Structure 1
Amino acid sequence: MSCSRRNFVSGMGAGALILMTGKPAQSLAQTLTINEVRYGMLHDEKLCIGCTACMDACREVNNVPEGVSRLEIIRGEPQGEFPDVTYEFYRHSCQHCSNAPCVHVCPTGASFIDEATGIVDVHPDLCVGCQYCIAVCPYRVRFIHPKTKAADKCNFCRDTNLAKGRLPACVEACPTKALTFGDLDDPNSEISRQIREKQVYQTKVELGTKPNLYHVPAKAGEIRR
């Protein structure tokens, strides 16, 4: 019976998750809301001005070294003609997928989904730096932390601001209120209300990752994948 390296690692990741949670990896996503909390974020591209205050706040609060980033605001091509030129801005960060490939392939259980919040995070002390999670992430948002040598990414400030009962640093710093953070499983939360009332999109949903990062498109009637 042959077994490719990818299949072997996937099996190792599933085994590690069973040891840690007592549940097969395939059913893990169905058990994330035991406390009826599933955190997500909404980026309103109509309100974003590309000031990058969110990036600076993230770096400061989470001690992110220069050269790597948990969050990027990507500026699109200029629209219109000078002097009436506008830009579109896109948030590039972890999607906190409910069906996260990075969790399934991790051979040590370092990549995990917090059952209380649905946040995808990393145990740096368990990470061996194999980079399988980086390779499998379809959103290309993970990196190796230059100091800890472990995989790192946005974790909604889970061990900093969120642990203190505050909003993620990027949300607090946004001057135009382009970011909304909250419980997607609470129909009365502000993020749930906005998702119902505004046109929104998620990226690469066809992959079955079930991303929990939503976007309001910069242009009305625009649909993105």
Structure 2
Amino acid sequence: MSEPPPSEPAPRRRAPGMSPEQRRAMIVAAALPLVAEHGAAVTTARIARAAGIGEATIFRVFADKDELLDACVAEALSPGHVLRELGSIDLELPLPERLTEAAEAMRAHLERIGAVVGALYASGRRRGRPGGEQPAQDDREASARALREAVAELLEPDRDALRLPLEKVAAIFIGTLFAQMRGGALGGDGPTPADLADVLLHGVLKQPHSQSHSRPQGPDGPRSVA
């Protein structure tokens, strides 16, 4: 009995290509660290090498280099990454650890913004090109609201132990962190994320409810407060 002829190999299917949106996102991801390092001086050829594509591919999805830089700024400012980081924090952790991880995630987010925007500014690109995308007020407010809600969610398991509403505690936490970052105080010799979480939860007084701290002292002992 003769053997059946060998079957024909199945034709190889070409992997589906990226959509323009996916390709833009891939290029921006490759460009961000280069923009943070070189600012506007980075070349599209260098970005293409980092992305593993031909330089011409960049200009299939971006009109020019300025549009690519605008997209990098928009991605740096976007809260999407930090919101995912906050959402991944284990709610079973003790509250101080949750807030420490949240502070670290938001610090990384702010540092990335500072690196990208600062490098562009230092290299002579002040506000982008005329008509370039700038975050609208509504977008900034939506980002701030999303951050507050994400931090409030981290606080939720300890709601009953807090003296203030979740949203207010979240706003104080974020506002303190951002103020320290703007002043360059977080890191180095400044307070650490763990310090920030500890002070938020416990204050800075060793005995915050002691009488010596509740009323000012006069020459003859504690005096009443009018």
TM-score interval (norm. to shorter): under 0.3
Q: Look at both structures and tell me which one has the larger radius of gyration over its CA atoms.
A: 2
Q: Quick one: higher RCO (CA 8 Å, sep 6+), 1 or 2?
A: 1
Q: TM-score under structure 1 normalisation?
A: 0.22
Greater share of strand: 1
Q: TM-score, normalised by structure 2?
A: 0.22
Relative to its length, the structure with more helix (as a share) is 2
